[in-house]
Amino acid sequence: MKKLALYAGAFGLVQGLTGCTEENVSADRAGSERVLNDTQAVPASAPQDDERLVLAFGDSLYAGYGLDPKESFPEQLEQALAAKGLAVDVRNAGVSGDTTAAAQRRLAFALDGLDRKPDLVMVNLGGNDMLRGIDPDETRRNLTAICEELKSRDIPIMLTGMIAAPNLGNDYADRFNPIYRDLAERYDATLYPFFLEGVITDSGLMLADRIHPNAKGIEAITRNVAPLVATALKAS
């Protein structure tokens, strides 16, 4: 109960949406799109024979809102995997402010823009749906469509999930929270249930908006997620 109370306080009022001004979201989204387009147009480096390709497809939590590009989750994940002896090219396909609907519309473009089929696609979406109070049934439909697209291309999936803020009520949470587990079971996807686990309740790991992790928060998340990614890549 204490953890839920802290979580509710961390998110504040739903009316705050992503905790950013529209101007900041627009600017960060535009920057994320430029990074994404540049990445798709020109491979970062010539692929090694044994190098794996991971696409981090999500919203601001992947894009690295408020952080230096080198501090973003995809960059930190690539470094963490390298430390484990794995040569992995993690492409940042995060766009700040994206809902599941917006992301679903750009998925094919993101995949087709890569120089080859990825060995794993990580999906972190739904936070903006939740913060805007979008019907969880719509969120489920959009995430299902994303998983279907990946399945049709025979691409392994990893879901990093979200949890509904308690101030949205039990009914909303009961419909929203199971989405990621259900999809992971349906599509045999690797699941990290809550991307902000152990971070959102620690102010020292969050930006001032209390919604996005700071660089130390990303480091903490990466330590938890990297072993799952490594296992998923070895199994693919």
pTM for the whole structure: 0.84
CATH code linked to domain 2-40+49-235: 3.40.50.1110
The more confidently predicted of residues 195 and 47 is: 195
Catalytic residue (one of 60, 72, 89, 98): 60
Q: Mean pLDDT, to the nearest integer, of 128-137?
A: 97
Q: Distance from first CA to last CA of the chain, Å, rounded?
A: 38
Q: What is the CA radius of gyration of the chain?
A: 17
What does the pLDDT look like over 116-127, one tens digit per residue? 999 999 999 999
216: CB partners within 8 A, 6+ apart: 204, 205
Q: Is 60 noted as a catalytic residue in this protein? A: yes
CA distance 32 to 138: 25
Is the pLDDT reported for residue 193 higher than 70?
yes
Residues 6 or more apart in contact with residue 143 via CB below 8 angstroms: 100, 123, 125, 126, 179, 180, 183
Could you give the percent of the chain with pLDDT greater than 90?
78
17-34 as b/e, with b when 16 or more CB fall inside 10 Å? bbbbeeebbeebbebbee
Over the stretch 79-121, which tens digit does the pLDDT of each residue have? 999 999 999 999 999 999 999 999 999 999 999 999 999 999 9
Yes or no: say if 157 and 147 are a contact pair by the CB < 8 Å rule. yes
Residue with tokens 């936070």: 127
Active site residue 212: yes
Q: What is the pLDDT of residue 228?
A: 98
Instruction: Judge contact between 212 and 19, C-beta under 8 A.
Output: yes
Neighbours of 158 (CB within 10 A): 22
The pLDDT value given to residue 11: 58
Residue 159's nearest CA partner among 52, 57, 73, 88 is: 57
What are the sequence ranges of the domains in the chain?
2-40+49-235
Residue 131's identity, in one-letter code, is L
